[in-house]
Structure 1
C-alpha cells in the first residue's frame, strides 16, 4: 500500500503543478486580451484559428484571449480568470470542481467552442431538456462568432430534426436523449436512417451526477408485444395482503417477498395448488410478484404520479416527470392495474445501455460540477479522469450551521415548519430541499395552514421550473423543491431582475434548509451550494431525525442512546458524529453497489462492442449478401435469374441479417437479465456469483453470431424477395411496429430521507 499511496500522491502533485501552469497561462492571456480587444470581429476569430495547429492548441494564451474577447462582445460576459483557468483544464480533459454560481455555463460554452475550433465535434451533455435548449440558445452568439454551428437535441424532436441537430459542431443534449438515440440507431437497416453523428468529445455538465450517481442506470429501448400484466383478480388478491404477515419488505426498501403464510393465502384465493409448481412459477408467480412489487414498493407521488388517467414515472434523482419512460417487465402494467387505470401494452427489451457505457463511447470525456472532489475516487476508478479544483472568484460567505437532530420524524418536521415560519417573518428568502413529491406537498400544506405562501417545484409542475427558480431568491419567498440537487439552475438574490438584491443581502441572503441528509454528502453539498453564489451571503442547515433512512440504514445493528429535550431535539456532538458515520456507511454501500454492478455490466459492454462492429459491417458493405449467397448459392442464383438488381439483393440480405442479429442480441439480453436475477441461486460451489455470471454470459454469447447467421440463411431460403425487398412480415418476422424508451428505475440514490416506504401520511402535522 505504501507504493500505491506514493503513486496517488505523485498524481496529486502533478495535478497541482498543472493547475499552477494553467494559472500562469491565464495570467499571460491578459495582455493578449487587451491587444485583441482593439481588433474587429474577423481578426479576433482568425486569431483563435491561428492559435490552433495540427488539431491542437499551440498558443494557449492567444486562444483564451480570443475566447474572452468574443464572450464579452457577443454575450456581454467577460470571463473571470478562474473561468478561463477552468476552460483550460476542460480542454486538457479534466473534470473541474467549480462552485455553484461561478459561471459554469459560460465555461462549458467556451471550452466546447475551443474543442470545435480544433476540429472536434462536441456533445455538451446536460441533465435535462430545459437546460439543453436554454444553454444552446444562450451561448449561440459566442459559438457562431467563430463560424461554428450549435444546436440542441430535446425529447420533442422527431428523427429528421434530430438528424439535422446532430450535424452541428456543438450539440447540447440531455444524457438520456443521447443514449436513446444510440439505441434507436442500433435498430436501423439502412445507414441513412441514423440520426446521430459521431462526436469526439463529451463535455458533461453536473458530471458527478451523470458519471457517478446515475452511471449504472440502464437506458432501455423496448418493442411492443403482449405484456405479462397481472390480471384484475391477482391485483385484488395482492391488495388484501398484510405487510409483516403475508409479505415482508427488506431493510433497504428495494425488495419484497411473500411469507409462507402469504403464499398459502394467495394460492387459496386464486384456487391453485402451488405458486411454485412448474406450471405456475413462470406465469402466475411472476404476475403475483409484479403486483406485490407495485403494491408495496412503488408509492404514488413518490415514484410516480397519476395525471388525467395516465401514469407518469418520477425521475427520483431530479424530482421530475420522466417523460416517455416506463418500467420494464410488466411492472408498468402492474402499477396501472393497482391504480385502476387502463393497462398499457407490454413489451420486450430490444436493447439497453448504461450511462457509464454510453460515456465510454466518446474518445474524450471531461466535465464540470460543484461537487467533483467528493467523487474523485469514482471518477478515477471508472473513467480514468482527474479532478481539477477551480478557486472561487469571490470568497465564500455562506454560513453552514450544524445539523439539527431530532428523535422522531414528527418532531423534526414540526421544527422545520417552525424554522421556516421564523425566517419568513424576517423577509429572508427560504429554499427547502425535500426528497420526493409527497413530502414537498405535505410541507407546503402545513405552511399554508400558517398562511405562508409557498412555491412548490416537483415532478407535478416541473415545466414551471424556470419561473419558480427565477423568483426563489426574492424577498419573502418560500420555495419547496424536490431534489434541488439535480436541477442545475442558479438562484439570483432579489428575484429574476435582482431589483431587491441589496435588501436580500442585508437580510443574510438565501436560507437553505434540507429536510434530511442524503445518502451521500455530495448531494448535501449540492443543495447547500444553492446559497452563497458569487460571494453572496447565505445560510444552510439540515434537519435530521434518528428515524431517517440514512440513519436507519447506515446505523443498522448499532445502538445509540440519546436524551432529547422537550421539543424532541438532540443537541449532542456525539449524536451528530454518529449520523456522519451512518452517512459514510451508506456512501460505502453505494460505492460497493456501483463496483459490483460495474462488474456485471462490463462483460455485456464488451460483447456489445463485438455486436456493434458486426452490425456496422453489415450496414456499410455487401457482407450480408456475400455471406448468404455463399451459404445458399442456389437461392442466390434463383434471385439473380429473377432479374433483381444487385442493390435490391444486397438490401434484402442486409435486412434479413440485421433482423436476426438484433433478435439474437435481444434474446441474449433477456437471458442474461434472468440469469442476473437468479445468480445467487445458480452460483456453484466455491464460485462467486459474478464469476458464474461471466461464465454463463461467455457461454451464451459464444454462438450468438453464428446462430443468427444460420437463422438468416433459413429465412433467406424461404421468405419472399422481390423488387421491394425481403417481405419478413409475411413470415411473422417483422420488427416491432412501435418502440418506446425508459430508464430502469432502480437507482440506489433514490428514495426519501423520511422512511417513505413505511408510509407518509400527514408527516408535517
Structure 2
C-alpha cells in the first residue's frame, strides 16, 4: 500500500485520481464513437476532427491511423494522446507505440490552430518518424517536415513552414541562435510555433537540460602552454592536488601550488599581474589530467578529441568542452589545438523549451523525473498502463564486496545464461568497461556497441534479441528502436520466448533509478518474457559517491557476495543521495543560467524593434544629425542603419557572454574567499549588463560617423573591421550534470553549496 500511496503522491494526489477518472471516461466515449465513425467516408471522417468534443476528436484520430497506417491504436495509446493534448509528460513502456501517439497528438494540436515541433534526440529518428507518420498527417490535408543536419537555410525555411516539424532538439536550437544574428527578417528560418512535443522527454528535459548550444565565430584558440601541461603532468594526487569524493572537482594543495609556481619561475600562483591568467590555465591542465579520462569521457579518433555522451554512451556529435578545457585535453594528448571560437550567442536546452507556449512529452521513464519536471517546467506526469501485463522478472541486485568479486560473478552469469541460448544485453557505464568485459568474453561471439562503433547501432540492436546473442552496450544505446525477440524479422521469436526472452544485465547501478529503469525497460516489450538483473559492488562510483562519509559493515560469503537486507537498503540510500545531489546541481546551475536567459530576453526585444521598425535610423539621426543629413537620401540608408546598430548590439552581447564565462570559471575562488558565489555572479552580471545597450548605441553612432557609405547607402563595414565573422559554426558544450566523473565542467558550481 505504501508503494501505491507513493505513486499517487508522485502523480499529484487527489487531482491525479480525478484526471485518471476523466481520462477513462473520455477514452471509453472515444471507443464508442469510433464504432460509429467506421461507416463514414474519408471526407466525412476528416470533417469530424474539428469537433469540440474531445472523445470524438480522439476517435477520429484513431480511425484515421488505422486507415492510413494500418495501426489500430489501443485504448492505452488513445489515453496517452489525451494526456499529451492536456500538456502532460506521459510515461509509456518501451514498445507501446509512442511514435504513433506523438503523431496523433500533433495532428490534434494542429486541429486547435497550433503549429507543432516534435523534438527528437537525433537526425535518424526525425527523418524516420516524419516519413513513417506522413500518411496520417496527409490524410487531414496537413503538412509534415523534418529538420536535420545538412539542410541549407532555404530548405530549413521551407520545412519550418509546415504544420508539424520533426527535428533534433539541438538542430532546432541552433536555428534559433542563427536567427538571432540576422539583419533582415527575410533571412530568418524559424516561424512562430506553439507546441513542443518532446520525445525521450527525460533525456531532453532533464539529462541535457543545461547543455548550452553555442554559435561561434572564428578566432584563434588559446590553450595552456605545453610547458604548463608538462609541469602539471608531473603532479601527484594527494600530494600536489586532491579530488573530491564524487570526482567532480580537483584542487591544488599548497604544496602543489608552490611546486607549479617554482617550476614557472614565479613567487606565487596567486599574486602578480599575470597570476589570474596563469592560474586559469594551470587549473584547466589539471582538470584535463585528473578528471577527464580517455575512453571514458572522450576518444581520440583521426587526430581529434571526440566527447562521449555519458547518458547515451556514444559519441556526442558536435559537442566540445569550453574552448580552454578542449584545448587543454588536446595538448594533454599531443594533438594540434583546434581553432577556438568567439561565442556569438548561446542558449541552454532548458531555456529553449521556455520559448514554447505549450510543452509536453513522452518517455519510458518519467515518474522518477517527476520532481525535476515539476520544478523546472511546471509539468505533470501521467503514467499510461501497458497494453499487455508485464511478465519480465526483475531479480534483486547481486551485491559484492569488491569490484573484482562483482566482475568475476558478472562474467560467470553471462556465460551461464548464454549457454541456455537466451539472448543477453549487458549495459555498461563507459567505453573502457564495455571493452574490458568484451575481452573477458573473447572466446564467445560478443557484439560491442559503444562510442567507438555507434555507426553500427541499428544493425547491432536489431539483432540483440536473437537466440544466443550477447550484446555489450554502453548506457542507453538504441533508444527509439525496439529489440525484437528472435531477431529483426522475429523469425526465431518462439525459441527466444521458450528461453525466457531477453536478459538485461547492468554492470552497476546508475546515479539515478531512472537510468536503471531505462536499461531494464529494454526487456519485457509488449508482454514478452524477460529478465533484468544488476550487479553492484561497494566500490562502485555511485556507492562511493552516495555513501561518502558513511560506513557499512558487511559479511560477504566465500565468493564475495553480500546477502544482507541492510546492505540492500544502504545501496538504495546511496542512490537517493546521488539523485539529490544531481537535483541540487541542476537547481543551482539553472540559477546561474536564468539571469543570462532573462538578459537575453531584453536583448531579443531590442533586436526585434531594430529589425521590424526604422528605430535604428531614427536613433542615428538624433545622435548624429550632421552625418544623417549628409546620407539621408541614399536608398539603402535605413538598412545600413539597422545593420550598424545590430552589429554593435550583437557584439556587446557576445562580449558580455565572454566576460560572464570567465567569471563563472573563476567563481570558485570567490567561494574560497567566503563570498556567496551565486550572489557574486549575479552582482557582476547585473553590473556588466547595465550599460550594454547604451554602449552598443554609442559605438554604433561612432561607426556611423566614421564609416564610408556609398551612393546607395551601403556602409563599408569590413574596411573598419566591423563585419560579422565570415565563418560560424555550432556546437554543444559538455555541461551535463548527469555526466559521470569529470565530464561535467559546470558541476562544480552545484558542489559549492553542499
Q: What TM-score comes out, normalization by structure 1 length?
A: 0.92
Q: Which whole-Å CA distance do the structure 1 matches of 2:124 and 2:538 have between them?
A: 37
Q: Which whole-Å CA distance do the structure 1 matches of 2:681 and 2:742 have between them?
A: 34
1:537 aligns with 2:529: yes
Match of 2:510 in 1: 518
User: Quick one: which of 674, 678, 694 aligns to 2:662?
Assistant: 674
In 2 relative to 1, CA 182–510 (structure 1 residues): closer, same or farther, beyond 3 Å? same
1:60 aligns with 2:60: no
Q: What secondary structure, in the 3-state scheme, does the structure 2 residue paired with 1:39 have? A: coil
1:488 aligns with 2:480: yes
User: Quick one: which of 112, 127, 137 aligns to 2:131?
Assistant: 137
Match of 1:302 in 2: 296
CA contact (8 A) 1:456 1:479 kept: yes
1:422 aligns with 2:416: yes
Q: 1:687 Cα deviation (Å)?
A: 6.8
Q: Which whole-Å CA distance do the structure 2 matches of 1:549 and 1:302 have between them?
A: 13
286-295 or 609-618, larger mean C-alpha shift: 286-295
- Superposed CA deviations along residues 644-699 of structure 1, whole A, max 9, x for unmatched, are 11xx1111111111111111112222222333334454479997433333233222
Task: Tell me the number of residue pairs that the alignment of Structure 1 and Structure 2 aligns.
Answer: 736
1:732 aligns with 2:727: no
Q: Which whole-Å CA distance do the structure 2 matches of 1:347 and 1:33 have between them?
A: 57
Correspondences of 1:122-271 after superposition (within 5 Å): 122-271=116-265
Match of 2:329 in 1: 335
Match of 2:86 in 1: 92
Q: Which whole-Å CA distance do the structure 2 matches of 1:533 and 1:387 have between them?
A: 21
Match of 2:641 in 1: 653
1:746 aligns with 2:735: yes
Q: 1:330 Cα deviation (Å)?
A: 1.9
In 2 relative to 1, CA 478–192 (structure 1 residues): closer, same or farther, beyond 3 Å? same
CA contact (8 A) 1:325 1:740 kept: no
Match of 1:713 in 2: 701
Q: Which whole-Å CA distance do the structure 1 matches of 2:658 and 2:449 have between them?
A: 38
Q: 1:753 Cα deviation (Å)?
A: 13
In 2 relative to 1, CA 282–227 (structure 1 residues): closer, same or farther, beyond 3 Å? farther
Q: What secondary structure, in the 3-state scheme, does the structure 1 residue paired with 2:347 have? A: strand
Q: 1:419 Cα deviation (Å)?
A: 0.9
1:595 aligns with 2:566: no
Match of 2:560 in 1: 568
Q: Which whole-Å CA distance do the structure 1 matches of 2:217 and 2:116 have between them?
A: 31
Correspondences of 1:324-403 after superposition (within 5 Å): 324-403=318-397
Q: 1:32 Cα deviation (Å)?
A: 2.5
Match of 1:762 in 2: none
547-556 or 659-668, larger mean C-alpha shift: 659-668
Q: Which whole-Å CA distance do the structure 2 matches of 1:580 and 1:438 have between them?
A: 26
Q: 1:396 Cα deviation (Å)?
A: 0.9
Q: Which whole-Å CA distance do the structure 2 matches of 1:672 and 1:507 have between them?
A: 58
Q: 1:302 Cα deviation (Å)?
A: 1.5
1:504 aligns with 2:496: yes
- Superposed CA deviations along residues 327-382 of structure 1, whole A, max 9, x for unmatched, are 21322222122222222111222212111111111000011112212222221121
Q: 1:624 Cα deviation (Å)?
A: 0.9
Match of 1:36 in 2: 37
User: Quick one: which of 449, 463, 468 aligns to 1:476?
Assistant: 468
Q: Which whole-Å CA distance do the structure 2 matches of 1:310 and 1:608 have between them?
A: 33
CA contact (8 A) 1:517 1:753 kept: no
Q: 1:557 Cα deviation (Å)?
A: 0.7
Q: 1:397 Cα deviation (Å)?
A: 0.6
Q: Which whole-Å CA distance do the structure 2 matches of 1:509 and 1:457 have between them?
A: 20
Q: Which whole-Å CA distance do the structure 2 matches of 1:720 and 1:66 have between them?
A: 63
Q: Which whole-Å CA distance do the structure 1 matches of 2:671 and 2:432 have between them?
A: 41
- Superposed CA deviations along residues 45-70 of structure 1, whole A, max 9, x for unmatched, are 2222x42xxxxxx0222211221122
CA contact (8 A) 1:684 1:692 kept: no
CA contact (8 A) 1:549 1:753 kept: no
Correspondences of 1:553-564 after superposition (within 5 Å): 553-564=545-556
Q: Which whole-Å CA distance do the structure 2 matches of 1:673 and 1:173 have between them?
A: 29
- Superposed CA deviations along residues 743-763 of structure 1, whole A, max 9, x for unmatched, are 222322112799xxxxxxxxx
Q: 1:8 Cα deviation (Å)?
A: 7.5
Correspondences of 1:618-697 after superposition (within 5 Å): 618-640=610-632, 643-645=633-635, 648-682=636-670, 688-697=676-685
Q: Which whole-Å CA distance do the structure 2 matches of 1:192 and 1:292 have between them?
A: 47
Q: Which whole-Å CA distance do the structure 1 matches of 2:683 and 2:273 have between them?
A: 29
Match of 1:80 in 2: 74
In 2 relative to 1, CA 276–536 (structure 1 residues): closer, same or farther, beyond 3 Å? same
Q: What secondary structure, in the 3-state scheme, does the structure 1 residue paired with 2:117 have? A: strand
Q: What secondary structure, in the 3-state scheme, does the structure 2 residue paired with 1:499 have? A: coil
Q: What secondary structure, in the 3-state scheme, does the structure 2 residue paired with 1:29 have? A: helix
CA contact (8 A) 1:245 1:259 kept: yes
Q: Which whole-Å CA distance do the structure 2 matches of 1:317 and 1:173 have between them?
A: 20
CA contact (8 A) 2:10 2:370 kept: no
In 2 relative to 1, CA 289–752 (structure 1 residues): closer, same or farther, beyond 3 Å? closer
In 2 relative to 1, CA 282–730 (structure 1 residues): closer, same or farther, beyond 3 Å? farther
Q: Which whole-Å CA distance do the structure 2 matches of 1:737 and 1:719 have between them?
A: 19
In 2 relative to 1, CA 585–314 (structure 1 residues): closer, same or farther, beyond 3 Å? same
CA contact (8 A) 2:58 2:78 kept: yes
1:613 aligns with 2:601: no
191-200 or 578-587, larger mean C-alpha shift: 191-200
422-431 or 685-694, larger mean C-alpha shift: 685-694
Q: Which whole-Å CA distance do the structure 2 matches of 1:545 and 1:8 have between them?
A: 32
Match of 1:17 in 2: 18
- Superposed CA deviations along residues 270-322 of structure 1, whole A, max 9, x for unmatched, are 34443333333243333222222222211111111122222212222112212
Q: What secondary structure, in the 3-state scheme, does the structure 1 residue paired with 2:334 have? A: coil
In 2 relative to 1, CA 204–188 (structure 1 residues): closer, same or farther, beyond 3 Å? same
User: Quick one: which of 439, 447, 450 aligns to 2:441?
Assistant: 447
253-262 or 404-413, larger mean C-alpha shift: 253-262
CA contact (8 A) 1:326 1:741 kept: no
194-203 or 735-744, larger mean C-alpha shift: 735-744
Q: 1:200 Cα deviation (Å)?
A: 0.5
Q: Which whole-Å CA distance do the structure 2 matches of 1:567 and 1:295 have between them?
A: 36
Q: Which whole-Å CA distance do the structure 1 matches of 2:572 and 2:610 have between them?
A: 55
- Superposed CA deviations along residues 480-537 of structure 1, whole A, max 9, x for unmatched, are 1111178332211111111111111111111011111111111111111111111111
Q: What secondary structure, in the 3-state scheme, does the structure 2 residue paired with 1:283 have? A: helix
- Superposed CA deviations along residues 542-578 of structure 1, whole A, max 9, x for unmatched, are 1111011111011111111112122211111111110
Q: Which whole-Å CA distance do the structure 1 matches of 2:153 and 2:303 have between them?
A: 28
Q: What TM-score comes out, normalization by structure 2 length?
A: 0.94
- Superposed CA deviations along residues 578-610 of structure 1, whole A, max 9, x for unmatched, are 010011111111111112122222222111111
Kindly report the root-mean-square deviation, in angstroms, between the aligned alpha carbons of the 2 structures. Answer: 2.2
Q: Which whole-Å CA distance do the structure 1 matches of 2:251 and 2:478 have between them?
A: 32
Q: Which whole-Å CA distance do the structure 1 matches of 2:237 and 2:153 have between them?
A: 47
Q: Which whole-Å CA distance do the structure 1 matches of 2:63 and 2:360 have between them?
A: 24
Q: What secondary structure, in the 3-state scheme, does the structure 1 residue paired with 2:319 have? A: coil
Match of 2:307 in 1: 313
